């Protein structure tokens, strides 16, 4: 290069002046610093090229590389939904897919509380009515039988079955109004109004378990009714068979 610069001088070097020496000095400095300047220039050019955007690598607001038909294609910009509307489930190309809202877990309905069944009433004992005290069973039973009758009187027998052994007994009963005992056997009678009491004789005062005691009477009457009621053995009510 130094030779070419010296040879390219139109008039050559003037030996009588100092200009050739000065020209050679400047040429030497240019040749010495030229490669460095060229290297700096190439570095700046490479830096500029590296900073230039290429293809689709830029951000969404820059223009993309030209397509095959020669026109610039704008990078797709995500479209925003109008205010107050929910995002669509289908995402557009180039836009970030909106997250799918997860359904809130539904709380289970509280169990329906059912009413407790009303307690069933206790069955009432047989032979009792509601609200009344239970009647104890009769301790004896009576068989009353009219064996004969006529216009102004009748004959009847009474058979008593006690529930336990007896050592002396008396049986009370009620005759219809106006009736009167005229005769009694196997017992002695005592009457007050319509109430009659038959007392055991000496020979039948003791009654064993599961045995019976019997007596009979004749009564005068004023009505056709011959029924006797309210039998009691030693003060305890008896059921009429």
Domain annotation covers residue 59: no
The domain that contains 231 carries what CATH number?
2.60.40.290
Q: Residue 75 pLDDT more than 80?
A: no
Domain annotation covers residue 57: no
Please provide the average confidence, as pLDDT, over all residues in the chain.
73
Where does residue 178 fall: left (phi above 0), alpha (psi -120 to 50 degrees), or beta otherwise?
A: left
What is the value of pTM for the model shown? Answer: 0.45
Domain annotation covers residue 79: no
pLDDT digits (tens, 9 = 90+) for 183-240: 999 999 999 999 999 999 999 999 998 899 999 999 999 999 999 999 999 999 999 9
pLDDT digits (tens, 9 = 90+) for 93-115: 455 555 555 555 556 565 666 55
Domain annotation covers residue 234: yes
Looking at the 3D structure of the chain, how many domains does it have? 2
- Give the model's pLDDT for residue 78: 54
Domain annotation covers residue 227: yes
Question: What range does the domain containing 26 cover?
Answer: 2-50
Cβ–Cβ < 8 Å for 190, 199: yes
Domain annotation covers residue 191: yes
């Amino acid at each position: 290069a130094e030779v070419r610069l010296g040879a390219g001088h139109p008039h050559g070097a003037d030996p009588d002046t100092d200009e050739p020496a000065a020209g050679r000095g400047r040429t030497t400095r240019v040749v010495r610093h030229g490669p460095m300047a060229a290297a700096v220039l190439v570095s700046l050019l490479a830096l500029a090229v590296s900073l230039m955007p290429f293809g689709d690598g830029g951000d969404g607001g820059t223009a993309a590389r030209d397509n095959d038909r020669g026109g610039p294609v704008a990078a797709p910009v995500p479209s925003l939904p109008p205010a107050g509307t929910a995002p669509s489930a289908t995402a557009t190309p180039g836009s970030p897919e909106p997250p799918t809202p997860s359904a809130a877990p539904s709380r289970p309905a509280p169990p329906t509380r059912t009413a407790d069944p009303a307690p069933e009433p206790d069955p009432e004992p047989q032979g009792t009515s509601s609200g009344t005290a239970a009647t104890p069973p009769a301790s004896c039973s009576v068989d009353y039988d009219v064996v004969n009758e006529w216009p102004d009187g009748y004959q009847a027998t009474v058979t008593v079955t006690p529930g336990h052994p007896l050592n002396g007994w008396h049986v009370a009963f009620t005759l219809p109004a106006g009736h009167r005992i005229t005769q009694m056997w196997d017992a002695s009678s005592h009457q007050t109004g319509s109430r009659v009491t038959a007392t055991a004789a000496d020979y039948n005062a003791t009654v064993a378990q599961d045995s019976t005691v019997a007596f009979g009477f004749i009564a005068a009457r004023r009505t056709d009714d011959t029924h006797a009621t309210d039998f009691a053995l030693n003060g305890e009510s008896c059921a009429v068979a």
